[in-house]
Amino acid sequence: MPENPRHVIYEPFRVIRLALECVSPIDVTLIAGLSWTGHLFSQIPHTSKSCVSTMGRSSTYTLSSTSANYSYASGDGSVSVTASNSLCSWSASSNTGWITITSPASFTGSNTVTYNVSANAASTSRTGTMTIAGQTFSVTQDALGNNTLTVTKAGTGPGTVTANTGTLTWSGNTGTASYASGAGVQLSATADSGSTFTGWTGCDKVGANTCVVTMSSAKLVTATFSKNNSGTYTLTVIKSGTGSGTVSTSSGNLTWTGNSGIVIIKNVDTQVTLKAAAGSGSTFQEWSGCDSLYNNLCGLSMSTDKTVTVTFKGWAKLRQSKFDYDGDSNTDILWRNKAYGYNAVWLMNGTTVSNVKSIETVTDPMWTIAGAGHFNQDNRTGILWRNQMTGDTALWLLDGSVMSGGAQLGTLSDIEWQIASAGDTDNYNNTEVVWRNKS
């Protein structure tokens, strides 16, 4: 017998060396027919016994990775295993039904495990494991994926498209929504007044005005609307605000009930112009709902029923006097001393002088008061100045006797041009300046 035996098996007529490099120093199950006697084995038929090895060495295993991630679709993968001892054997097994080992389940030494991940049809992600060479390998798979549905409205007419599930988000004539892969969506098209729905493209199945798509991938659907060649449309005009005024139309006749007027337009694409005119003590403020605007004019193209609003603002108190310097609706009196350039205002209450206020002195006798009026719609009178030598013009905006603002209006050096008057010539509550050439 060798002096340092490595667990030698002695059988009649032959010697078998037992390779124990892959086992730890634990009980070793012997092959049938062998029994332990010291370091010797004797043949005993039809028996199985074990012994403890104190000389064996274990093997270590290293995985190329310990986890993997997959989309909702099916996929294949592999894991490399490195063994420190090429004589050792190991195995691989799946712990979940949706992960399948596609390579042999048992290996010796270093090798590679291949596997398949089935598609995830659920709306939630999932995680499963495999045991490879005694170690855990994790697989995470995403939930069923989403696909984008894009709907485009085309053609010359207006209309709407809705979905029976989810919400289409519109930007102009393009709407989008996201759906789970494989989901069924039904779209419905509705033509607006003066328009007709004419058809779909991009659908899996179509009805009279419906379109069905299965979202197995991103889909693009187009709904087409055509403008009718003839039709009858109603134009409604609403007057609002604190003032009064009238509205005239370039087509048809407005029929009024209180502050609401209606005109019937009988031809498609008829161009209609509405004109607003403020009443006494009012000014035109604005239009809303028009296709185009210019000053007090509202332009419309009648391809459908439309409603517009005109606003008038009342200025009854303001228009009582253009010489009201403190905004109390009473006419006040402006004084100027031509010799010394002093300026003052009598603030009146009817026929009674309620207060006397001095205004900034202008000593240059060439500067003269050329007019007064409401230049900034603040219910207070401003003073218009003209220099008779240089032709300069200037504006003082007053709050009582205090100058709240001002402006240089420019120079008209030809002194034959004189300011004839200052007043509201177009009824828009702004003071205009009227010039006259004396020559």
Tokens of residue 282, six digits: 């009012």
How far apart are alpha carbons 122 and 110 in whole angstroms? 36
Q: Please say if the pLDDT value at position 393 is more than 90.
A: yes
Both tokens of residue 122?
A: 């659920």
Q: Are residues 303 and 371 in the same domain?
A: no
**Residue 287 in this model has a pLDDT that exceeds 50:** yes
- pLDDT band for position 319 (cuts 50, 70, 90): very low
Q: How far apart are CA 139 and CA 134, in angstroms?
A: 16
Q: Are 315 and 308 in contact (CB under 8 A)?
A: no
For residue 219, give its domain range: 147-227
> What distance in Å separates the CA atoms of residue 126 and residue 317, rounded to the nearest whole number?
77
In a domain, 271, yes or no: yes
> Do 363 and 396 lie in a common domain?
yes
Position 237 scores a pLDDT of: 96
- The CA–CA distances, whole Å, from 280 to 57, 314, 372 equal 112, 9, 21
Residue 4 pLDDT exceeds 60: no
* pLDDT for 427: 59
Asked whether residue 58 is assigned to any structural domain, the reply reads no
Of 283 and 31, which is predicted with more confidence?
283
261/368 same-domain check: no
Q: Does residue 241 sit in the same domain as residue 293?
A: yes
Q: Which of 346, 343, 345 is nearest to 362 (CA)?
A: 343
Work out the average pLDDT over 295-300: 94
Contacts of 214 (CB under 8 A, 6+ apart): 182, 183, 184, 185, 204
Query: For position 253, which CATH number holds?
Result: 2.60.40
Q: What value does the mean pLDDT take over residues 80-98? A: 92
Confidence of residue 133 (pLDDT cuts 50, 70, 90): very high
For the segment 396-410, the average pLDDT, to the nearest whole number, is 81
Residues 370 and 275 in one domain: no
What per-residue confidence (pLDDT) applies to 379?
64
Q: Please state, in angstroms and rounded to a whole number, the distance separating the CA atoms of residues 264 and 351.
A: 54
1 belongs to a structural domain: no
23 within a domain of the structure (yes/no) = yes
Which pLDDT belongs to residue 426?
62
Which residue, chain included where needed, has tokens 């991940």? 117
Cα 369 to Cα 255, 339, 365: the distances in Å are: 49, 14, 10
Q: What is the CATH number of the domain that holds 76?
A: 2.60.40.10
| One domain, residues 329 and 404 | yes
- Same domain for 14 and 84, yes or no, is no
pLDDT at position 265 is: 83
The burial class, CB within 10 Å (0-12 / 13-18 / 19+), for 397 is: middle
- Residue 22 clears pLDDT 80, i.e. is over it: no
Whether residues 132 and 176 fall in one domain = no
Tell me if 128 is assigned to some domain.
yes
Domain boundary at 141, 176, 208, which?
Answer: 141
Q: What is the mean pLDDT of residues 90-105?
A: 93
Average pLDDT, the chain: 81
Residues 356 and 426 in one domain: yes
The answer as to whether 289 is a domain residue is yes
State which of 208, 227, 246 marks the end of a domain. 227
Cα 282 to Cα 242: distance, rounded to the nearest angstrom: 8
Q: Which residues pair with 62 in a beta bridge?
A: 82
Question: 92 vs 371, which has greater pLDDT?
Answer: 92
33 lies in some domain: yes
pTM: 0.30
Number of folded domains that form the chain: 5
Instruction: Quote the pLDDT of residue 435.
Output: 87
Cα separation, 265 vs 300, whole angstroms: 11
Of 227, 248, 276, the last residue of a domain is: 227
Lowest-confidence region among 46-50, 206-210, 321-325: 46-50
Percent of the chain past pLDDT 90, that is, above it, reads 42
Over the stretch 166-218, which tens digit does the pLDDT of each residue have?
Answer: 999 999 999 999 888 888 999 999 999 878 899 999 999 999 899 999 988 88
Please report the pLDDT score of residue 305 as a whole number: 87
Check pLDDT > 80 for residue 27.
Answer: no
Could you tell me if 302 and 371 lie in one domain?
A: no
Residues 267 and 359 in one domain: no
Instruction: Summarize pLDDT for 227-280 with one digit per residue, the tens.
Output: 876 667 899 999 999 889 999 999 888 999 999 999 988 776 678 999 999 988
Write the CB contacts of 411 (distance below 8 Å, at least 6 apart in sequence): 390, 391, 392, 393
Answer for the pair 317, 329: CB distance below 8 angstroms, yes or no. yes
Nearest to residue 224, comparing CAs of 143, 161, 169, 315?
161
Residue 339 lies in a domain: yes
Per DSSP, what are the bridge partners of residue 349?
352
Residues 433 and 324 in one domain: yes
pLDDT tens-digit series, residues 206-230: 998 999 999 888 899 999 998 876 6
